[in-house]
Chains A and B, each alone.
Chain A
Amino acid sequence: MEEFSRILVPVDGSDASLKALDTAVLLARASGAVLDILTVAYFASETDTEHLVSWLPESVTRPIGPVVHEALSHAEAHVRGVVPYELHERTGTPAEEILRFAEEHGREPIVIGGRGLGRVEGLLFGSVSQEVTEQAKGTVIVVK
C-alpha cells in the first residue's frame, strides 16, 4: 500500500475523531482518495423504543438512532463539497467493526483519533485506537 485510493475514518462525534477527519481530508485532497466515514454503535437503532420505563439514566437508555445520525451528520458537515465521501453505519464492538470494515475494503488505510491514553489506561478504559493500531493489517494513522 503506497497510494491512497480510499481512506477509512471512524467517527463517534468526539473532538479526537473530528481531528482525525481533518487529517483524513488533507490526505484525501492530496491523493484524490474517497473517504469512508464509519460510525459504529453498540446497539442497532431497531431496539430503540418510544415508551421505555427504566431506572437507568437517560444517557444509557436513550435511543441510539439519533446518536449515530448526529455523529455522521457532524462529520458530513466537515467534508461536504470538499472531498468525495461515503457514510457507513455498523453495529457491534467499535474496534472489531472498524478492523472488519478495513479488511473488507482491501485493507484500506485507517485514520483514527486517539485520546492519548497510555498502555494501562488504554486497557482499562478501552482504547479503540490502540486496538486498531495493533491489530490492523494495513496502515493506521493515529491523530491527537
Chain B
Amino acid sequence: MTIKNILVPVDGSEGSDRAVTQAIALAEACEAKLNFLYVANINQLAINACLSDAILDAVTKAGNVILDRAMEMVPSGIEKEAFSETGSPAVVILDFATDKDMDMIVMGSRGLGVVKGVLLGSVSQYIVEQSKCPVLVVK
C-alpha cells in the first residue's frame, strides 16, 4: 500500500482549513496528489423540482470560493485537483473515495454542523465508521 491520492473534503470551516494544512504536509512527505472535494448539501430531487438557477448559481459559487482557497494554499510542486458535487456530504465523500481509489481521507473533526457540544461531527463520525481507506481526523 502507498499513499498516492489524498482526499480532502472541504466546507470552509476552521476544521477543514486545518485539515487542508495537514494534508499539504502529508502530500509533500508522501509525494501524493491532493483531491479537494466540496459537497453542496442539496439533493438531486430538490434541484429538479424547485431550485431556481439563481440559487444553484449561488451554491456553486460558494463552493468554488472554498475550493479556490484550498487550492491556493497548496505550494507549487504538489499535484492538486478540485471537485464539486451535490448530495449528502458523508455519502458523497465515501462514494468519491471508493470510485476514485483514494488512499486516505484527511478531514476536520467537526465541520459546519450546528451541534457545538459534540466532539466528533456527524459527517466525520460516519466516515470514520464506514470508510474502507484510512481516515485522518485533524483536531
Contacts and interface: CB of A to CB of B under 8 A. Distances in A.
A114 B128 contact: yes
B125 interface: yes
Interface in A30-73: 30-31
Size bracket, chain B contacts: 20 to 34
Nearest to B3: A26
Majority secondary structure, B binding face: mixed
A134 interface: yes
Majority secondary structure, A binding face: mixed
B111 to A, nearest CB: 15
A104 interface: no
B102 to A, nearest CB: 14
Interface residues of A, number: 30
Contact of A138 (B26, B30, B135, B139): B139
Interface in B1-50: 1-3, 21-22, 24-26, 29-30
A136 B104 CA distance: 19
A143 B131 CA distance: 9
Contact of A22 (B1, B21, B132, B136): B1
Contact of A139 (B30, B104, B128, B137): B137
